Structure 1
Amino acid sequence: MIGSGIIKDIRARSPHYWSDWTEEALKGRQALTRITAASIYIFFASAVPAIAFGQQLKKYTKDDMGIVHTLAATGITGCMQALIGGQPLLIVGVAEPIVIIYHFLYEYADTHNIPFVPWSGWVCVWASIFLVLLALGNAANFIEKFTRFSGEIFGLAIAILFLQQSIKGLVEEFTEYDAVSGAWSTLNGVFGLLLAFIYISSSRALGGARKWKVGNSAIRAMLADYGPAIMIVVVSALSFSLKGNGDVPQRMKVKAPVDSYWLKHGVYVADDMAKIETADILAAMVPGLVISVLFYFDHSVSSMLSQQHEFNVKKPSAYHYDLLLISAMTIICGMLGLPPVNGVLPQAPLHTRSLCSKIKRKGAKDAESLEHKPEQASLVCHETRISNLVQSVLCLICMLVGDKFLNNVPTSVIWAFFTFMSLESLPGNQLFDRINIIASDKKRRKQFLNTHHALYLESVQFSKIVQFTLIQVVLLLGIWAITVWTGLIGISFPLLIMALVPFRLYVLPRYFTETELNDLDSSEVEELPAGIHNPALAGNGKTGSFAAEDSDSDSAQSVLDDGTEGYRTMGFKKTLTEDEIKKRFSKLEKASNNSL
């Protein structure tokens, strides 16, 4: 039945609407503390990428759109999602794929002398129409067909594009600096590289602060959660240490809100849209279709990941209704001259995670990480609309006062943030993990089994793992090449990502068994504890399996590296035997008794 999914979602979610506002807020201090912390955390997780994408969009559209637009779009639509959205845990914002698409749109509009902003408004109108049709057709029922196989390729493609933009931006620090002296341009580039290196390395280090032994858990958690934002402030302050030219390094140029073209003229975009010729309006249908396909799977997958059962979310989902709402957001953004938004990763699941508290079981010790801990089953998620609304309002405030501090941020730090996002998207991507395993030394492959590892490493033959991975790599490189090197045809990359779904459903089963595909393309990360559990692997037989035979051909230097420590005061390590351990502690016990 047409629209049955939307009706079902409204009936399921409407009884919970008021409890989304009041239930968690009235639970007491612990819940309020968690909601407040989540609001601040997700604000930084949303605002920093929005600023980075705004800088990228400003470059791509030659100032027709920029940071004000991305922050405004994120804030306005975030408020809509919090106030009338079906799933309040879902975070919406401007994502990298839409920035890439808008780059293609600008090139097309510029080539054909079409006013970019009003024409992009028509693109959003068409995208909204297609999204309405998808929502009414209950298309969200089929999003489960978008499996890990497609998601890993999409995620790694975005990571490569992040890294590519970062490298391109840092290289241009040497050439696009407006200076009389070429020496200052070179210094701007070199100093920019130094600042970028400091930002990336320190942000990555702070990201692992939860595992540190220094400091208490609250400080470590704060550094891990807010590290990237903290380091933007720190590195920006450090950039003022260079004396001699106040324009080095090159910094962001964000206009004050009162001078913003969008705040003055954004309300007139709808009027300008009426001046677009009919042929150009019809031409906007093609990118509109592309955006609708992108939002269909990206938005639905983001929503799905924000309410995984591991988070212990109790209230029902609203995939169909939220898809309808994103169509409304798309047309509103288009008519206001803003880039459209959709559910964003990793912000959506990070928001849910930040709202989770752990109920301690009797006798359980405190743990900062839920990974491989039995306490994971004792989570409670504070499902509320408050945190989403607060972070959205903060994004709007950032838009209004952002020029006060953003103009002090070096552009090289923004490009470094793209590298940071690229590197942060790699952990958990099994395609990247398998590439790493395949590229490893055969003599060392068994070391991957000495820690918690994926089930498929023991259940699937290594040759099949290689075949599956190579197929993904070839498809990944093909999509990346089409996106980067084919000009305006590159705008079709969301269609190529969507084409991976039938490829997975109908082509891969011809080359892999159902069991192999279930393990290699599992919706959940199935892991085994450390050690070898498959008898075929433990025997080191010639089974064509994952583990290669051990070799005693390691060089003496490798052996010494493992058995020594220190540099100037080198010492050799010695592992005590069981008898030696007993003797040592027996002596300690006797000495302790004698002292009494």
Structure 2
Amino acid sequence: LCQLLQSDFWTVRLCVSLWTTFFIIILVAFEGSFMIRYVTRFTEEIFALIIAVVYLYEPFKKLYMIFHLNPVLSKYNYPLICSCNISSIFNKSSTIKNINSSFNSSSKYSCYDCESPKRYISSTPSLLRINYTTISNDETQLPNKALLSLIILLGTCFIALALKRFRRSNFFGRSTRQTLSDFGMTIALLCMVLFDMRMTKNAGGHSLTQKITVPDSIRPSDRERGNFWLISPLRKQLPFWVYFASSFPAILISVVLFFEVELTSIMIQSKLKCVHTTKPIKGTGYHLDILIAGVLISISGLFGLPWICAAPVRSIAHVASLSKYSKTHAPGEKPRLIDIKDQRLTNIGVHILIGCTIFAAPIIRKIPVAALFGIFLYFGIVSISGTQLFSRLKMMFIPTKYHPNVGYLRRIRQMKRYAYTFIQIAAAGLLITIKVTNFAFLFPFILVLLVPFRKWCLPFIFTERELNELDGDEQQDSIFDDEIDFYGQVHLPI
């Protein structure tokens, strides 16, 4: 869009950031955070379904691109000989027998860092033609990258899912199961990185998968900016109307930021209510969170840094790590949640460690992109599995006598459940369709319209009792289950 308008991207982005901060300040000044009370499970589950579809779609889209660039062949010619090894061999005075033995001991896959081996083929045609496959720089003669990427992607996802389910198994003690489950993604990623390194070693040091790209130094990615970080609104002169037109995308960003921050706060609030049932936990913190997020967007825009967003998984994980459970319960009973040590020190420590990852660039460069998309696939599976929408979809294919004893299944007629589920799926389908078309900029507006649709339109189709069962708040259990996976409780962008 900036190219069509012949406008500087960084200047326009800064204007959008400043407008976003302005709208957030206006929202906080009029205590707009109270509007989050109208966002019910109806909207949250639609949002969760959209996010799950995106997480499930992106890994397979990446796989399709990899298979398109590296088609699976019916025949491969192995082994290929690295031409740099040939060069070192022919520089020595040795007999044909010694050359043959040297080739057999140093056979590797193609090395693209060395010079072309064509001259060696012409100099010793009989030797290479009789005993060895013709040396080629054709990348299709390497072990198929697409199949290896598929193995790494699915392996990462399956290991993470298996360790997630391990939490409720009967092996080892509770602490061991929880630790393995909580660090399941890290363990899965580590296993696939080691597997990829082993395959790279077997391929003679030639990397067979795409790795995460990390710059060598901390500097602006745009070469035109050089080493100058600060971006001025007057960096490059824009048409006067662009300064005001940039307020339109800022409104959309403000809506998305509002949903992410406030819904994350609601999830934290629901966990804290298990302990503190008689007093408000967040209070004015709802306004403070969104205000700080809005101000940081302008700071990020001034330095050309990525815009921040809420971190639901890390927030829920932080609450879980600060939870204290009873140790005097009877055998077989679930521990009770006694207290949550709510403080700020651990948050600071977590973010300091996140900042220290800039020194881990050599390690990050060894992570295959396929493993990263395997984590995305895992997120897509677990982010939808714990919602009532997914449960209602699953119950459509299960006989009624096997349904669990929950209100929305026992007290709501089957056709009404189907109608409510169909409305949610249709709304999610509409939003996904808008997102993949040229009208993607309307996505936040349509998402906001779901709130008045739920409040004023659904009561004409469903009774108040039915809506309370289908769209009411989840009942808080006084016996807090400490074996619940907090990754499965988050149904928002991660």
2:378 to 392, 412, 420: 420
Match of 1:431 in 2: 389
State the AA in 2 paired with 1:136. Answer: A
Alignment map for 1:133-172 (pairs within 5 Å): 133-172=26-65
State the AA in 2 paired with 1:420. Answer: Y
1:447 to 369, 387, 402: 402
TM score, norm. by length of structure 1: 0.64
Match of 1:491 in 2: 441
1:182 Cα offset (Å): 5.2
Aligned residues of 1:118 and 1:273 also touching (Cα < 8 A):
yes
1:490 Cα offset (Å): 0.5
Which has the larger displacement, 421-430 or 265-274? 265-274
Alignment map for 1:494-533 (pairs within 5 Å): 494-525=444-475
Aligned residues of 1:300 and 1:323 also touching (Cα < 8 A):
yes
1:461 to 398, 407, 413: 413
Superposed CA RMSD: 2.5
Q: What is the rounded CA distance, in whole Å, between the counterparts of 2:286 and 2:392 in structure 1?
A: 32
Flag the 1:184–1:208 CA change in 2: closer, same or farther, 3 A: farther
Q: How many residues align?
A: 403
Match of 2:107 in 1: none
Q: What is the rounded CA distance, in whole Å, between the counterparts of 1:277 and 1:379 in structure 2?
A: 60
Match of 2:186 in 1: 229
Match of 2:488 in 1: none
Uncovered stretches (5+) of structure 1, i.e. residues with no partner: 1-107, 368-372, 528-596
Q: What is the rounded CA distance, in whole Å, between the counterparts of 1:186 and 1:503 in structure 2?
A: 54
Alignment map for 1:244-283 (pairs within 5 Å): 244=203, 246-258=206-218, 261=221, 265=227, 267-270=229-232, 273=235, 275-283=237-245
Aligned residues of 2:145 and 2:208 also touching (Cα < 8 A):
yes
Q: What is the rounded CA distance, in whole Å, between the counterparts of 1:504 and 1:185 in structure 2?
A: 55
Aligned residues of 2:274 and 2:476 also touching (Cα < 8 A):
no
Aligned residues of 2:70 and 2:145 also touching (Cα < 8 A):
yes
Uncovered stretches (5+) of structure 2, i.e. residues with no partner: 72-111, 113-136, 478-494
Match of 1:391 in 2: 350
Q: What is the rounded CA distance, in whole Å, between the counterparts of 2:379 and 2:315 in structure 1?
A: 15
Match of 2:365 in 1: 407
State the AA in 1 paired with 2:275. Answer: N
TM score, norm. by length of structure 2: 0.76
Which structure dedicates a bigger proportion of its chain to helix? 1
Q: Alignment identity in percent?
A: 23
Flag the 1:500–1:218 CA change in 2: closer, same or farther, 3 A: same
State the AA in 1 paired with 2:248. Answer: V
Aligned residues of 1:252 and 1:406 also touching (Cα < 8 A):
yes
Alignment map for 1:538-553 (pairs within 5 Å): none
State the AA in 2 paired with 1:445. Answer: T
- 1:312 corresponds to 2:275: yes
1:477 to 408, 429, 433: 429
1:219 Cα offset (Å): 2.3
Aligned residues of 1:184 and 1:248 also touching (Cα < 8 A):
no
2:298 to 311, 331, 342: 331
1:307 Cα offset (Å): 1.9
State the AA in 2 paired with 1:126. Answer: W
State the AA in 2 paired with 1:470. Answer: F
Q: What is the rounded CA distance, in whole Å, between the counterparts of 2:318 and 2:237 in structure 1?
A: 41
2:169 to 193, 212, 216: 212
Alignment map for 1:310-389 (pairs within 5 Å): 310-313=273-276, 315-317=281-283, 318-360=285-327, 362-365=328-331, 373=334, 375-376=335-336, 378-389=337-348
1:118 Cα offset (Å): 3.1
The C-alpha deviation readout for 1:426-453, integer Å capped at 9, x for no partner, is 1221111111212x05xx332222xxx4
Aligned residues of 1:270 and 1:336 also touching (Cα < 8 A):
no
Larger Rg: 2
Aligned residues of 2:8 and 2:236 also touching (Cα < 8 A):
no
